[in-house]
Structure 1
Amino acid sequence: MSFSTYKTPSGFLLPSIHSAPPFFTQQPNAATQVVFTEQWTRLILAYARYRRLFTVRVEDAEVSGGEWDEVLRNPRINRRLMPGQLAHILSVMVSENLAMYEPAKQTRATLLYWRLPEEWAEVLYEWQVVNTGQLNTILTFYEISEPPVPSELSGIPQSLLRSAIAVLVKGGRAQLISISDGDGVRFFPRNAK
């Protein structure tokens, strides 16, 4: 049997391992399971980035027809990732700081870091300061995540945006401000403190 890559209806190219039935099952050999978990992690993050998906839930492996079906199921070989295995993969991703449980204090839903908060901070700073040139202007979180002209930050979850802003605040490039309709942020030049 030969395995091949496969282009999904959304245009995402699945790796050839996605055609291997053992890829979808818990492996008795610990070393093999580690390798499969690493490959699932890369696949989940790549797909999330491609589709701009910020969250994955254990329930996504249970319910068909969702936005994760292209990755978590392979109808060509009649396989799907089981919820328990997805929960294990997500726990490994959280332990490796590639995801975080969102909301906190549960283990069924994660916010994916297909870009780390530090990378989102650079995207945010570049968008705000370089592209718009708005220094010392206060923007609400809503204005950043739902801008009138779509940007790379469109739809970013508030918790991830808050983490990115915290990176900029720590580096002296932004200030978090409480305003009447929520939180806002003011950006400073790179050399400002």
Structure 2
Amino acid sequence: MALSTQTITTGFLLPSIHSAPPFFTQQPNPSTQSIATEQWVRLILTYARHRKLFVLRVEDTETGGSDWGEILRNERINRKVLPSHLSSILEAMVAKNVAAYDPPKQTRSVLLYWRLPEEWADVLHEWATSTGQLNTILTFYDITDPPIESPLSNIPVPLLRKAIAILVKSGRAQSIGVADGEGVRFFTPSR
């Protein structure tokens, strides 16, 4: 079978490497494995952004019908990523700062940074500005589950906290304790 790209049901275009059987197994040559890992990292982050997925678990390799099944498996060539291989890919992603183990102190689940926390901070502040939320106290729920879908809809709280911490450091926000938990107030950036 020749290597070819494929558009899957979600409209995502899989790269041609996805139709190569060796892509799904760990390679004995460290140089070859390094290149394959880079391609996996790129594929995972691009797919996550396309689908707005924030979490990837080692178990997703075994779960049929998971959000990740389309890229962790290729039925046409009867291949799937084994849990140990995905584990090493996740480890590489964490080392590159494009993912973080979540919850911390385990290595089977990561929070994906298809946008870095600094980029989320900019998106968050831009959203607060464009929706007239400056100098208003908002709960995390107000941000992650707004009445009108936004780029921040369903953003995981750990990632939201990191973005807010960046805004607090730069003087564009203030963390506030509210009755329901955590909140934030956004400010106009000082010039």
Calculate the TM-score normalised by the size of structure 1.
Answer: 0.97
Q: In structure 2, what is the equivalent of residue 22 of structure 1?
A: 22
2:115 corresponds to which residue?
115
Structure 1 unmatched ranges of 5 or more: none
Letter in 2 for 1:145: T
Question: How many pairs are equivalent?
Answer: 191
Deviation at 1:134, TM superposition (A): 2.2
Q: State how 1:31-180 maps to structure 2 within 5 Å.
A: 31-129=31-129, 131-180=130-179
Secondary structure of 1:76's partner? helix
Q: Give how far 1:141 is off.
A: 0.3
- Superposition CA RMSD, Å: 0.8
Q: Aligned-pair distance for 1:133? A: 2.1
Moved over 4 A (4+): none
Separation in 2, partners of 1:176, 1:138: 9
CA distance in 2, matches of 1:116, 1:25: 28
Give the deviation of 1:171 after TM superposition. Answer: 0.3
CA distance in 1, matches of 2:77, 2:133: 52
Query: Structure 1, residues 14-71: CA drift from partner, whole Å, max 9, x if none?
Result: 0000000000011011000000000000000000000000000000011211110000
Q: Which amino acid in the other structure matches residue 39 of structure 1?
A: Q
Aligned to 1:11: 11
CA distance in 2, matches of 1:26, 1:186: 47
Work out the CA distance in 1 between the residues paired with 2:65 and 2:131.
39
**1:96 to partner: Cα distance:** 0.8
Cα distance in 1, alignment partners of residues 156 and 17 from structure 2: 31
2-structure distance, mates of 1:172, 1:75? 50
The percentage of counterpart residues that share the same residue type is: 64
The amino acid across from 1:179 in the alignment is V
CA distance in 1, matches of 2:168, 2:77: 49
Q: Name the aligned partner's letter for residue 159 of structure 2.
A: L
Q: TM-score, normalised by structure 2?
A: 0.98
How far apart in 2 are the matches of 1:25 and 1:128? 44
CA distance in 1, matches of 2:88, 2:63: 18
Alpha-carbon distance in 1 for matches of 2:134, 2:8:
42
What CA distance in whole angstroms lies between the structure 1 residues aligned with 2:6 and 2:63?
A: 22
Q: CA deviation at 1:2?
A: 2.0
What corresponds to 1:188 in structure 2?
187
